[in-house]
Amino acid sequence: MQNDTVRSAVALRNSTLAQLGAEIMRPTYDRSRTFPGLVHIGVGAFNRSHLAVYLDDLLGRGEVVRWGEFGVGLLPWDREIHAGLAEQDYLYSLMALETGEETLRVIGSLAGHVYAPEATETVLERMVSDECAIVSLTVTEGGYFIEDATGRVQLEHEDLRHDLEHPAAPKTWLGYVAEAAARRMKLGRAPFTLLSCDNVHGNGAIARKALLAFGEARSGALAKWIEANITFPNSMVDRITPRTTDENRAMIAERFGMMDHVPVVAESFRQWVLEDAFVAGRPAFERVGAQMTGDVAPYEKMKMRLLNGGHSTLGYLGDLLGHSFISEAAADPLLRRLLIAFMAEVKPSVPPLPGIDLDEYTATVVKRFTNTAIRDQVARICCEGCAKISKFIVPTLGDLLKTGRTPRVLPLVIAGWLHYQRGRDENGRAMQMADAQAALLKEFVDSGCADAGLALKVRPIFGELATAYPQLAGMVQGNLDELRTHGVRAAITKVLAEV
Ligand code: CS2
Q: How many CB atoms lie within 10 A of CB 86?
A: 14
**Single residue among 293, 324, 355 that ends a domain in this structure:** 293
157 with 195: CB under 8 angstroms?
no
**Single residue among 293, 326, 344 that ends a domain in this structure:** 293
Going by alpha carbons, the residue nearest to atom 2 of ligand 1 is 308
The residue whose CB lies within 8 Å of the most ligand 1 atoms, and thus the one to mutate among 381, 386, 420, is 381
- In the reported structure, the alpha carbon of residue 238 is separated from the centroid of ligand 1 by a whole-number distance in angstroms of 8
Per DSSP, the three-state class of 80 is helix
Atom of ligand 1 at shortest range from CA of 310 = 6
Question: What's the confidence (pLDDT) of residue 380?
Answer: 97
User: Where does 83-174 show beta strands of DSSP type E?
Assistant: 92-98, 101-107, 110-115, 134-137
C-alpha separations of 122 from 112, 117, 159, 444 in Å: 11, 10, 20, 45
**Alpha-carbon gap, residue 429 to 446, rounded angstroms:** 20
Residue 147 shares a structural domain with residue 15: yes
Domain total of the chain: 2
Question: What's the confidence (pLDDT) of residue 217?
Answer: 98
The residue whose CB lies within 8 Å of the most ligand 1 atoms, and thus the one to mutate among 48, 50, 307, 366, is 307
Residue 285 shares a structural domain with residue 312: no
31 with 13: CB under 8 angstroms?
no
Residue 324 shares a structural domain with residue 417: yes
The residue whose CB lies within 8 Å of the most ligand 1 atoms, and thus the one to mutate among 47, 302, 308, is 308
Residue 21 shares a structural domain with residue 81: yes
The amino acid sitting at 255 is R
Q: What is the CA radius of gyration of the chain?
A: 23
396 with 383: CB under 8 angstroms?
no
The amino acid sitting at 247 is E
Average pLDDT per block of 10 residues along the chain, 499 residues long: 68 97 96 96 98 98 94 96 98 91 95 98 98 97 84 94 98 98 98 96 96 98 98 98 96 96 97 97 97 95 97 98 98 98 97 92 97 95 95 97 97 98 97 96 98 96 95 97 98 97
Name residues contacting ligand 1 (CB within 6 A).
199, 238-240, 308, 311, 381, 388
Question: What's the confidence (pLDDT) of residue 100?
Answer: 74
Residue 107 within any structural domain of the chain: yes
Residue 268 shares a structural domain with residue 317: no
Residue 468 shares a structural domain with residue 321: yes
Residue 424 within any structural domain of the chain: yes
Residue 403 within any structural domain of the chain: yes
**Alpha-carbon gap, residue 60 to 32, rounded angstroms:** 13
Calculate the CA 457 to chain-centre distance: 27
- Bridge partners, residue 71, by sequence: 40, 113
φ, ψ (nearest 5 deg) of residue 325: -125, 150
Atom of ligand 1 at shortest range from CA of 383 = 3
34 with 68: CB under 8 angstroms?
yes
**Alpha-carbon gap, residue 160 to 173, rounded angstroms:** 10
Going by alpha carbons, the residue nearest to atom 13 of ligand 1 is 238
Residue 197 shares a structural domain with residue 340: no
Domain residues for the domain of 188 are 3-293
Atom of ligand 1 at shortest range from CA of 307 = 6
**Single residue among 293, 313, 336 that ends a domain in this structure:** 293
User: Where does 74-177 show beta strands of DSSP type E?
Assistant: 92-98, 101-107, 110-115, 134-137
Residue 298 within any structural domain of the chain: no
**Alpha-carbon gap, residue 19 to 299, rounded angstroms:** 42
**Alpha-carbon gap, residue 244 to 267, rounded angstroms:** 13
Residue 436 shares a structural domain with residue 389: yes
By C-alpha distance, which of 465, 437, 434 is closest to 452?
465
**Alpha-carbon gap, residue 440 to 444, rounded angstroms:** 9
Q: What CATH number corresponds to the domain at position 442?
A: 1.10.1040.10
Residue 189 shares a structural domain with residue 326: no
154 with 146: CB under 8 angstroms?
yes
Residue 489 within any structural domain of the chain: yes
The residue whose CB lies within 8 Å of the most ligand 1 atoms, and thus the one to mutate among 141, 199, 201, 370, is 199
Question: What's the confidence (pLDDT) of residue 5?
Answer: 59
- In the reported structure, the alpha carbon of residue 239 is separated from the centroid of ligand 1 by a whole-number distance in angstroms of 8
Q: Tally the residues of the chain.
A: 499
Residue 165 within any structural domain of the chain: yes
**Alpha-carbon gap, residue 320 to 145, rounded angstroms:** 30
- In the reported structure, the alpha carbon of residue 242 is separated from the centroid of ligand 1 by a whole-number distance in angstroms of 9
How many degrees, rounded to 5, is the angle at CA 299 between CA 279 and CA 289?
65
Question: What's the confidence (pLDDT) of residue 355?
Answer: 87
Residue 299 within any structural domain of the chain: no
By C-alpha distance, which of 243, 247, 298, 303 is closest to 270?
303
The amino acid sitting at 264 is V
Q: What CATH number corresponds to the domain at position 236?
A: 3.40.50.720
Residue 261 shares a structural domain with residue 327: no
**Alpha-carbon gap, residue 472 to 477, rounded angstroms:** 8
Residue 257 shares a structural domain with residue 401: no
Residue 258 within any structural domain of the chain: yes
Question: What's the confidence (pLDDT) of residue 226?
Answer: 98
By C-alpha distance, which of 267, 373, 259 is closest to 46?
267
Calculate the CA 182 to chain-centre distance: 28
Atom of ligand 1 at shortest range from CA of 380 = 3
Residue 230 shares a structural domain with residue 275: yes
Atom of ligand 1 at shortest range from CA of 308 = 6
The amino acid sitting at 17 is L
